[in-house]
A and B are shown apart, each in its own frame.
Chain A
């Protein structure tokens, strides 16, 4: 989303209905901005299933292998020392730290993958230039149509939005539409 048209709505249901109507009209590059997650909005926007769980799983698997390997390397290979008559590769004794390593790997991977996927931190975004967009984190619900959408025509898009009776419609991006 670099430029296009944005509309402000006063309720979650209104923005949900608006997204459905616009999808019906044929728009595909719609984005919605809400102060809290709204059930059904993901489906209405037809967002693909998130693949982040894969990253979390991979992070956990790497964490498990690395943390076991560190313990094995330290206590069975690099500095073998008999402690309490336990074998050098003392599997039960290595499990607790391996578990912690798994969780740590999974959590770090999840956090980093989320930031990469959402392209955050990004302190500037065209929507932040829109007057009154601050309300999107308070009590208003916004949606925006991207001008790169093949369906997008400045005049028609404005009329399509007006039909949904938003509080107001504003242009996003530098060039006037």
Chain B
């Protein structure tokens, strides 16, 4: 991908600092409005969680045979969204993609907030969330240990590791910028707080020397990690015998879908941020176009996965597999969801073949929303449409979510945005040092 066009205008280093730190100085009116709305949504989430925990998960729509529903759909959806953040910050760093410099911070923050939301759901789904620490292997007096031959403890290991490593990676990248905020922001208290979090960074050449090595190693560690996380999530499904789940394509198929939905979320967040804070010179159309291209690539890989999945169901000759893929999904009780999913994940993103549409923020934003919805529906199909009709027709049951399910889903979207707005208010959300480094690199290339 072309490096030109990733940094526009003639801003010098001081102007870059000012431009990136400006949104942190005083919150705009629109920020307050969005903050309040998502704050209310978060409150609704809190109430719904309280109600669920106090009463029990009978408030949700899931029951035998559809024992996994919204909670697990939301979990898989949020974890998947997180993947694009790591993809941008780690993969693209290792591949020397210059355009990552000004978008990695937002993408990484998105990963963290998506993971916080994802982590909520399996814990609530335990039914007795106050015993969640039983998932962790510790020498308990009961002398019972987690069962590592089941895939669920793998999940615990994957998600907690992913969150910890993402947090460290994000924070490590943030330290030099927090030092800039310490030195440039108004207000004694604020400078002190930034000062504490910047750990006393001075930008000494010796510090940069070790810092860069460790940062690069983190990228090297995060790259296989991100692939492992959604692979492990997919194993929750694929090591069971259920038609629609028991398939070896699941790990790569889940990883592709994850990165796909993550890019959609990055675009949905980035496009308004770029506009509201007038950051068009650091987050250029080139960035948006590159992400559009990656999204298109992921859409094609996802199409391949859908195709292979259905083909293998037919080719296996297994009547249950054939029924699930070739009849229950396209013509069964959730056929509407299935066709909307195909349209939004495979058909609509084909618009991005046109360069003009790929460079249009409005089209990209809309496609992002469509893909996010489509990917949520995909998990609905995988989970609910497989469970509601398994081997025995006498056990079939139609699943319907309750209002508590829906409140928790929309509440968690609000909570995610709420965290994101807090982040926009307090943290330099474009990497100051990396944009300056990029500016110098581009200037040297031009020379």
In the assembled complex, the CB of A102 is this many whole angstroms from the nearest CB of chain B, namely 9
User: Once bound together, how far apart are the Cα atoms of A90 and B217, in whole Å?
Assistant: 31
CB nearest neighbor in B for A127: B202
- Segment with Cβ contacts to A, from B25-33, B149-157, B302-310, B338-346: B149-157
User: Once bound together, how far apart are the Cα atoms of A32 and B207, in whole Å?
Assistant: 10
Asked if B199 contacts A138 (CB within 8 A), the reply is no
User: Once bound together, how far apart are the Cα atoms of A42 and B157, in whole Å?
Assistant: 38
Asked if A138 contacts B184 (CB within 8 A), the reply is yes
The answer, yes or no, to whether A103 is at the interface (CB within 8 Å) is: yes
**Contacting residues of chain A (41-71) with chain B, CB-CB under 8 angstroms:** 41-42, 45, 47, 50, 52-53, 56, 67, 70-71
**Contacting residues of chain B (382-441) with chain A, CB-CB under 8 angstroms:** 432-434, 436-437, 440
In the assembled complex, the CB of B196 is this many whole angstroms from the nearest CB of chain A, namely 7
Within the complex, which residue of A12, A96, A124, A127 is in contact with B440, where a contact is CB–CB below 8 Å? Answer: A12
Q: Which residues of B contact A156 (CB under 8 A)?
A: none
Digitize A21-49: 1 where CB-to-B-CB distance is under 8 Å, 0 elsewhere.
00000000001111111100110010100
The answer, yes or no, to whether B42 is at the interface (CB within 8 Å) is: no
Asked if A36 contacts B434 (CB within 8 A), the reply is yes
The answer, yes or no, to whether A125 is at the interface (CB within 8 Å) is: yes
Q: Which residues of B contact A121 (CB under 8 A)?
A: 196, 199-200
User: Once bound together, how far apart are the Cα atoms of A12 and B352, in whole Å?
Assistant: 41
The answer, yes or no, to whether A151 is at the interface (CB within 8 Å) is: no
User: Once bound together, how far apart are the Cα atoms of A32 and B172, in whole Å?
Assistant: 21
| Known contacts A35-B433, A81-B147, A106-B221; A52/B210 CB under 8 A | yes
Q: Which residues of B contact A2 (CB under 8 A)?
A: none
Q: Which residues of A contact B172 (CB under 8 A)?
A: 111, 114
| Known contacts A50-B210, A97-B153; A33/B203 CB under 8 A | yes
The answer, yes or no, to whether B320 is at the interface (CB within 8 Å) is: no
CB nearest neighbor in A for B18: A138
Asked if A41 contacts B205 (CB within 8 A), the reply is yes
In the assembled complex, the CB of B314 is this many whole angstroms from the nearest CB of chain A, namely 28
The answer, yes or no, to whether B224 is at the interface (CB within 8 Å) is: yes
The answer, yes or no, to whether B17 is at the interface (CB within 8 Å) is: yes
In the assembled complex, the CB of A162 is this many whole angstroms from the nearest CB of chain B, namely 22
Asked if A37 contacts B235 (CB within 8 A), the reply is no
**Contacting residues of chain B (50-90) with chain A, CB-CB under 8 angstroms:** none
Within the complex, which residue of A71, A100, A118 is in contact with B161, where a contact is CB–CB below 8 Å? Answer: A100
Asked if A124 contacts B157 (CB within 8 A), the reply is no
The answer, yes or no, to whether B2 is at the interface (CB within 8 Å) is: no
Q: Could you tell me the dominant secondary structure of chain B's interface residues?
A: helix
User: Once bound together, how far apart are the Cα atoms of A45 and B205, in whole Å?
Assistant: 8
User: Once bound together, how far apart are the Cα atoms of A172 and B148, in whole Å?
Assistant: 58
Digitize B201-223: 1 where CB-to-A-CB distance is under 8 Å, 0 elsewhere.
11111111111111001100100
User: Once bound together, how far apart are the Cα atoms of A47 and B208, in whole Å?
Assistant: 11
User: Once bound together, how far apart are the Cα atoms of A111 and B200, in whole Å?
Assistant: 16
CB nearest neighbor in A for B156: A97
Q: Which residues of B contact A53 (CB under 8 A)?
A: 213, 217
Q: Which residues of A contact B196 (CB under 8 A)?
A: 121, 123
Asked if B148 contacts A94 (CB within 8 A), the reply is yes
- Segment with Cβ contacts to A, from B105-113, B138-146, B262-270, B276-284: B138-146
In the assembled complex, the CB of B254 is this many whole angstroms from the nearest CB of chain A, namely 14
| Known contacts A33-B205, A35-B436, A96-B158; A103/B165 CB under 8 A | yes
**Contacting residues of chain B (1-58) with chain A, CB-CB under 8 angstroms:** 12-14, 17
Asked if B147 contacts A70 (CB within 8 A), the reply is no
Most chain A CB atoms below 10 A, which of B151, B168, B205 = B205
User: Once bound together, how far apart are the Cα atoms of A161 and B13, in whole Å?
Assistant: 24
Within the complex, which residue of B157, B164, B210 is in contact with A97, where a contact is CB–CB below 8 Å? Answer: B157
Asked if B165 contacts A123 (CB within 8 A), the reply is no
Q: Which residues of A contact B165 (CB under 8 A)?
A: 103-104, 107
A100-B154, A103-B221, A138-B180 known, 9 other contacts, Cβ within 8 Å:
A35-B180, A35-B432, A52-B217, A93-B148, A106-B217, A108-B164, A108-B168, A110-B214, A110-B221
Hey, which bits of chain B sit against chain A, CB under 8 A? 12-14, 17, 137, 143-151, 153-154, 157-158, 160-161, 164-165, 168-169, 172, 176, 179-180, 182-184, 195-196, 199-214, 217-218, 221, 224-225, 228, 232, 235, 432-434, 436-437, 440
- 21 sampled A-B residue pairs with Cβ under 8 A: A31-B206, A35-B432, A36-B176, A37-B433, A52-B214, A53-B213, A75-B145, A75-B147, A96-B235, A100-B225, A107-B218, A108-B164, A110-B214, A113-B214, A118-B206, A122-B200, A123-B195, A123-B196, A136-B183, A136-B202, A138-B14
Which 7 A/B pairs are nearest by Cβ-Cβ distance? A74-B145, A139-B13, A134-B183, A121-B199, A37-B208, A100-B157, A97-B157
